[in-house]
Homo-oligomer: A and B are copies of this chain.
C-alpha cells in the first residue's frame, strides 16, 4: 500500500521542492493548496522584527524559550510551568513518545502520519481505530472507550487532519475523563483549532494530569518555514519532557517572531475572520461541483472524496501542470487509495483560480 512505501519518506503536503522537481515547475508558478497555511502570508510586523534582529543570530537561542513562554502564558491564559516549546509541534510528538515510553498506543485513523512515525520502535505496538466512512470519519466515544484497556497513550487530532472532522468539547470531555481515570496519557493535537479557540482544552491540563495538548504556532500565523509549536501538560510531565529535550531546537528568529505575532491582534483577528468566511465560500463552491463528496470543514482545509473515474493521483497531476498543488491523501493509513484529496483554503483569487482549473479538468 502507498502509505507503507511512503510513510518514512517525508511525504507531506507542502513539499514544494519535490513538486518542483516532479512537475518541472518553478516556485513562483506554484499555488500551494497542499499545505494548510494561512494564505494571508506573514504579518509585516514579523518581517520588521526579523530584519531588526538578524545580528542576534550570532548568539545561541534561549534553550528555555523564557520570553516566548511568558507571551504564550499571557495570550492563552495558561501557567508558565505548563508550557514547553518545540521545533514545531512535531518535535514534541517525538519527545512525548521518547519520554513516556508507551508500550501500546491507540490511534484513530486516518490522521496525521507523524504519530505513527514517532512510534517506529520494535517495543511499541499500535492499535489503529479505523474511522468509518459511513460515520463521516468521526471518532465515536462509544467505539473508542471500549478500546482503552491495555493502552498507555492515545493520539487524537482535533480538528482531524486530513478529514477536517471536529469533536466538540462535551465529547472530548468524555474521553478526557476516561483516560484520566485509567491513567492513560492522551495527546490532543489541536494544531488546527485556531478557528475554534473557545473549544480548546488548553486550560484543562490543570484538572487532568494525563492530558497533553499540542499547538502549532506557524500554520495560523503563516510561518511554517520557521518551526515553532508548543505543548501544554502538567508541570511534572513538562519537567520530564525538558530532561529529554535537545537544548536549542527552537531557533532565535522563531522565538522573536512568536513574541511579536501574538501581540499583533490586528493580524490575528483579520486572519480569523478572513479564514472563517473564505472557508465557507470555498466549501460552498466546491460542494456545487458534481462527481465528488465534500466534507464540511472545521479548519482551513477541505477534505474531498472523488466519486467518478478520475483518481486522486490523476487529479493531482493535472492540477500540478497548472501550477496548483493539492494533497493526494492516498498515503494516509485507513483511507481507500486514489479516492481522497485535501485542499487548503487560500485567498479568494486563488480559490477562484482553483475552481476554474478544476472545472476545466472535470469537464
Contact = CB atoms under 8 A, between A and B. Distances in A.
Contact of A56 (B114, B225, B254): B225
B87 A224 contact: no
A213 to B, nearest CB: 19
A75 interface: no
B246 A87 contact: yes
A338 interface: no
A10 B239 CA distance: 12
B58 A224 contact: yes
A223 B57 contact: yes
Contact of A60 (B54, B57, B91, B225): B225
A64 to B, nearest CB: 6
Interface stretch (A13-21, A130-138, A160-168, A194-202): A13-21
Contact of A251 (B15, B64, B251): B251
Contacts of A247: 10, 12, 90, 114
B42 A55 contact: yes
B248 A226 contact: no
Residue of A8, A38, A114, A118 contacting most chain B CB atoms (<10 Å): A8
Interface of A: 8, 10, 12, 14-18, 32, 35, 37-38, 41-42, 46-47, 50-51, 54-64, 66-67, 87-88, 90-91, 93-94, 98, 114, 118, 120, 222-227, 242-244, 246-249, 251-254
Given A51-B54, A58-B224, 12 more contacts: A10-B247, A17-B67, A32-B59, A41-B55, A50-B50, A51-B51, A57-B225, A58-B225, A114-B246, A118-B246, A227-B248, A253-B253
